[in-house]
Amino acid sequence: YGLLSQYSKEGVYNLTRLPTTNGQWSTGDGVKIAADIGAKLVLMDQVQIHPTGFVDPKDPKNPTKFLAPEALRASGGILINHHGLRFVDELSLRNSATAAIFKNGFRIDDDDENPISAFMLLNQEAMDIFDVAALKFYMNKGFIITYSSAQEFAEKYNIPPENLKQTFTKYNAAKNGEA
């Protein structure tokens, strides 16, 4: 997309293949025009990556994602890998959360064309804190799926239930100041 192919550095995530929450129309034309008329561009290799975006289960390869706002994590959403283990402080800086997802995430269906992903889990308490209208919107789009239990979720994604239990136990202890 846009300027990323011109300004991404070696050794940095392959920014040209990362999904975006911008549309295809967002190509950096304003920056290109400014450069063409003599504006000095600085720090163009410093791209901030938002760590969470919704993967549309009907179209996981689509490079355009809906932003999964930080408010979901701030409300109590936790990020887990495909083993059911929490791997990051969800309220850490974006670059730290993004790096953790790249390190611990997985590709849906083990397909290299799919984005690196992680699960974001919200219990009822977190859902009650977050904006109800926004949750309904995300649910209607199929971005948020409800399960009757952690066991049902674990079975759906072939996650060891004991790992989820361990994750929830540790998270709740930390949340309650016991860890």
* 82 catalytic residue (yes or no): no
Alpha helices in 39-89 (DSSP H): 70-74
Judge contact between 161 and 154, C-beta under 8 A.
Answer: yes
> Alpha-carbon distance 101 to 135, whole Å?
23
> Alpha-carbon distance 158 to 135, whole Å?
25
Exactly one of 50, 83, 94, 107 is catalytic; which is it? Answer: 50
* 83 catalytic residue (yes or no): no
Q: Which residues pair with 54 in a beta bridge?
A: 66
Q: For the chain, first and last CA: distance in Å? A: 43
Q: State the catalytic residues.
A: 50, 73
